[in-house]
Amino acid sequence: MAELWELAAGELARMIGVREVSSREVVQAHLARISEVNPHVNAITVVLDEQALEAADTADRALRDGTAPGPLCGVPMTVKENVDVAGSATTLGIVALRDALAPRDAPHIAQLRAAGAIPIGRTNMPEFGMRWHTDNALRGATRNPWSAGHTPGGSSGGDAAAVATGLTPLGIGNDGAGSLRWPAQCCGVAALKPSLGRVAHGGQASPFGFQLLAVHGPIARRVADLRLAFDHMCGHTPGDPWYAPVPLRGPAPGAPTGVAAVTGLDADPQVTAAVRQAAKLLTDAGYQVTESLPPALDRAAEIYTQIMSSYGRVHEEQPPVESIASEGFVRFWTAFEEPWARAAGRAAFDPMMERAAIARAWDAWTASTPLVLAPICTIPAFPVGADLDPEWVAGWPAALRMSVVANLLGLPSVAVPTGQADGLPQAVQIIGPRFREDLCLDAAAAIEAGTPRLTPIHPR
């Protein structure tokens, strides 16, 4: 029989709901797994053991008293350190914020708690969430459970590694430039980047660039668990001007559903092979797949950079990064500044106006193929330290452009594993029309159904 920490979130909720196991047993099993494995991956930074066991006991008492179980009753979850959890520090990976305790939960965390989920730990991230490898001076580096010599991804690398190794069945992170999907690819798990406006933002005001481009979403080992979590983190919360109360399910598309497969991006052969493998699985499942290239893709990546450069700061006079960040982050930022500045220097007369033009072109391109099958990144997980090399970093924005276009246009995307190559997991993403996460999840489930399960795994 499988250990409790190996089971999916939905299965755990079912077992707890019918009292086949107790919530305390589930939480204890994950706490034991964390104690055994987390020292090898450093994915969870703070273990919320006492609070989690107390919440589990409360859930078990309610079930004994005849209260109907919530849809996520007793399911453990981890939460990235830039998301508010009441009574826990929202550090952003910064030493200076190590004691910045949140007075209340972020809206979607409160909604997940109301559905029965139990925060069991906080997870690691790069400083400011501004690096695609997870490391910082406060918590140290997270290690990829598949290969300690390769990145686990970032910025939600802690949650991806935690989910991959069975420390939790569900992780909650965010994605402003592939920060859910890229670590999902590196660690062999699934992730959902929702549409802009789906999951309410809360807490302190953030720069306009982040309001427009970054969203909260779940990481899990199964696509069905992404859907389960997503369904219970989209409630309305006053104060978010971007929030849109749109139904979670839309009308059925015409059959067969068209999919544009993006293969002509000069990607690593392993990445291209993953897209073609996923295309075959979708074809076998009844989708109509054609190879195509999106319009203005390179320009979309530049417009993304221009918006973040112009609107991604809290204020003009920020303290020097050297005064608040680690040496590793400073080296990364120094390497990244030149390509960032080069792209930002090719500014449009109005980047927001050009964003709208690209959105219209994208809509026309997907008129007959509402779903897009594409790489998350054109390279597999890179060796640790590669992103500190200025020459290597110069090619990184192009490598991730199929991910940032989804952020630029506010589109949903699901990352799903396709297998492994040379000992590292491979994955693809399904991008869909705005507010059609349901279509993306359906297609990702079809790919998952034809792919051997990769996780949970023991760190290698």
Task: Calculate the dihedral angle through the C-alpha atoms of 444, 189, 98, 143, rounding to the nearest 10 degrees.
Answer: -150
Helix (H, G, I), strand (E, B) or coil at 8: coil
As a whole number of angstroms, the distance between CA 196 and CA 406 comes to 10
| DSSP bridge pairs for 150 | 383
Burial class, 249, CB count within 10 angstroms (exposed 0-12 / middle 13-18 / buried 19+): exposed
Contact 251, 211 (CB under 8 A): no
As a whole number of angstroms, the distance between CA 196 and CA 213 comes to 7
As a whole number of angstroms, the distance between CA 349 and CA 213 comes to 20
Catalytic residues: 80, 155, 179
Question: How remote is the C-alpha of 42 from its chain's centroid?
Answer: 18
As a whole number of angstroms, the distance between CA 271 and CA 377 comes to 8
As a whole number of angstroms, the distance between CA 242 and CA 212 comes to 8
- Strands of the sheet containing 424-431, edge to edge, are 44-47, 118-123, 76-80, 170-175, 215-220, 190-193, 413-421, 424-431, 371-374, 258-261, 288-291
Identify the CA nearest to 209 among candidates 303, 331, 289, 299. Answer: 303
Q: At what angle do helices 351-365 and 297-311 cross, to 10 degrees?
A: 150
- String of DSSP letters for 130-184: --SS---TTT-PPPPSS-TTB---SSSHHHHHHHHTTS-SEEEEEESSSTTHHHH
